[in-house]
Amino acid sequence: MSINDAKRRTRLIASSVFLGLVAISAIGWKGYSSSMTSGPRGQFGVDGTETLRYLRSLDFTIASTGDSNVVQQYACGMNTSSCPAAGVRLMLIPEAAAQDRDWESAMQPGRPGHVVAIVVNVDGVTFPDLALRPGDRAYAWVGQIGPNATDRGFAIYKLDTNGITTNTWFKTTDVSHCDNNEIRTKPAIKTAHPAGGTPCARIRVGSAAMATLASHNTTAGLTGSMVGGSLWLSCSGGCCQVTGQ
């Protein structure tokens, strides 16, 4: 395949993904106002029936999220022989009510978690860290990310058709909240906290909880996979930042 053919294929995939995302709400992915939705209290993608029911209540359409998406080439942390040197292009889109999600609550044991963004492969090759094929999607989650109720943090999960997690990427307990007195009416997602913005404070569950999670955190390439090793998303009371460990 020539370079021009590869570029045309990538553009076609990106166009089809765009059209598919615009149509998501029309095929039942938005059942009711997502601002009133609470996520699972346990680990995301373990109870498949609950997970799929929850996802049907969310909205990831580009029309709802505006121009606050991120499209970047992400380096591969595993199976790098099948990954382009420049990385794989992924599109990250915040959930339509991400600015209302209470991350500080989600980081506490026994509280509901939230899906705060969707990750879509808009390239022409598979992203090996998630086994994410062109056009496939994964979900960014804040809440319980380990087998214990005290295992709290952020992770990106790929699910099978039954709603069960098959792959995990960027699993981290390093979650911070940045206060902002301005009320946000739209979601946003960036690759880092804006320069000169309000300082962010680490959200902690407790030292015991953090030590417990470390033994379960086995995903490869956690820090290197993300550009700068971090993501910034709008959340309740300001913005939230996640950083690879």
Domain coordinates of the chain in residue numbers? 3-243
Q: For the ranges 37-41, 84-88, 181-185, which has the lowest average pLDDT?
A: 181-185
- Average pLDDT of the chain? 78
Predicted confidence at residue 119, as pLDDT, reads: 96
Amino acid at 44: F
Residue 179: CB atoms within 10 Å: 11
Distance CA 111, CA 236 (A): 15
- 61 pLDDT band (50/70/90 cuts)? confident
Sorted by sequence, the CB contacts under 8 Å of residue 109 that are 6+ apart come out as 149, 150, 152, 205, 209
User: What does the pLDDT look like over 149-197, one tens digit per residue?
Assistant: 999 999 999 999 999 999 999 899 999 999 887 777 788 898 877 777 7
Q: Which residues contact 107 (CB under 8 A, 6 or more apart)?
A: 142, 143, 152, 153, 175, 203, 204, 205
Query: Who has greater pLDDT, 138 or 196?
Result: 138
Q: What pLDDT shows up at residue 62?
A: 66
> Sign of the C-alpha dihedral, residues 64, 112, 100, 201?
negative
Render pLDDT for 100-128 as a digit per residue (tens, 0 to 9): 999 999 999 999 999 999 999 999 999 99
Weakest-pLDDT range from 46-50, 83-87, 211-215, 234-238: 211-215
